[in-house]
Amino acid sequence: MWRRVASLSSLISSKRSSTLNQAAYSFKFFESFTTETPTQGKDGRFFKGKTPFITFVLGGPGSGKGTQCEKIVENFGFTHLSAGDLLRREIISNTEYGAKILDTIKEGKIVPSEVTVKLIRKEMESSDNYKFLIDGFPRSEENRIAFERITEADPDIVLFFDCPEEEMVKRVLNRNQGRVDDNIDTIRKRLKIFESLNLPVVNYYSKRGKLYTINAVGTADEIFEQVRPVFAAHEEFST
């Protein structure tokens, strides 16, 4: 049976063991990484030009984050940084830790924060844009805290694509892009991790008044009509 993720706060407290398992896993994994401390830019910022406008794009696997990000890019001129894509690029590039990232993605687990934050930070640093969509990140409170610590930045907006599990599973299984994690076993694991580790982040931003919840059921165009006003409210984003 699949169910809709309805109450966020009620899901949080019972997930402690999952959180601890992931923490232990991350620690073991990270032992094999270099632990170089990232350097801060002037004033703690690492961006050129304007103050960055950061949007975190959250939602379960297959909720349509990537699809909606493409539309936001087209309509509002953002740069799309999918954390998952950056990690998959590391695998393809065969970097020293590509194999570990591959194992982690196959298991539906979360790659250590420092690794992902460094990849995101590097992309932001090398971009001439100041408007960023960070898709599929932060996936845990630990991710969120690492991002804040390393970048000294905070998101301006957080979008949350709220989708029933049944619909997410259907979409992922039909995706057909050859992703190693688009199979029913890994999807189940990703959904568990989503509930236990990602929803607390959603809840955090809800409490801070930064969250825009989008009903992710309907056609991609219908969903975008809920997204559009969030950005249209910022006149400077009209392209």
Ligand X SMILES: O=c1ccn([C@@H]2O[C@H](COP(=O)(O)O)[C@@H](O)[C@H]2O)c(=O)[nH]1
Ligand Y SMILES: Nc1ncnc2c1ncn2[C@@H]1O[C@H](COP(=O)(O)OP(=O)(O)OP(=O)(O)O)[C@@H](O)[C@H]1O
Report the first-to-last Cα separation within the chain, whole angstroms. Answer: 44
Cβ of residue 58: shortest distance to Mg ion, in angstroms? 11
Nearer to ligand X, 119 or 223 (CB): 119
DSSP letter, residue 167: H
Nearer to ligand X, 166 or 225 (CB): 166
Q: What are the residues binding ligand X (CB under 6 A)?
A: 61, 82-84, 87, 104-105, 108-111, 116, 136-137, 139, 143, 181, 190
Angstrom distances, CA of residue 7 to CA of 53, 77, 95, 217: 29, 33, 40, 17
* 44 is an annotated ligand-binding site residue: no
Pairing between β-strand 157-162 and β-strand 131-135 as defined by DSSP bridges: unpaired
* 136 is an annotated ligand-binding site residue: yes
Nearer to Mg ion, 81 or 115 (CB): 81
With CB under 6 A as the contact rule, the residue among 65, 88, 100, 131 that binds ligand Y is: 65
* 65 is an annotated ligand-binding site residue: yes
Q: Which of residues 43-72 bind Mg ion (CB under 5 A)?
A: 66
Report the alpha-carbon distance of residue 135 to residue 87 in Å, rounded: 12
Report the alpha-carbon distance of residue 95 to residue 52 in Å, rounded: 29
Q: Are 78 and 133 in contact (CB under 8 A)?
A: yes
Nearer to ligand X, 48 or 102 (CB): 102
Helical pair 184-193 and 16-30, crossing angle rounded to 10 deg: 110
Near ligand Y by CB under 6 A, which window of 58-66, 103-111, 137-145, 195-203? 58-66
Total number of residues that touch ligand Y (CB under 6 A)? 17
Report the alpha-carbon distance of residue 65 to residue 131 in Å, rounded: 17
Which residues are near ligand Y by CB under 6 A?
59, 61-67, 84, 136, 171-172, 175, 218-220, 223
Which residues are near Mg ion by CB under 5 A?
66
Residues making up the binding site for CMP: 143
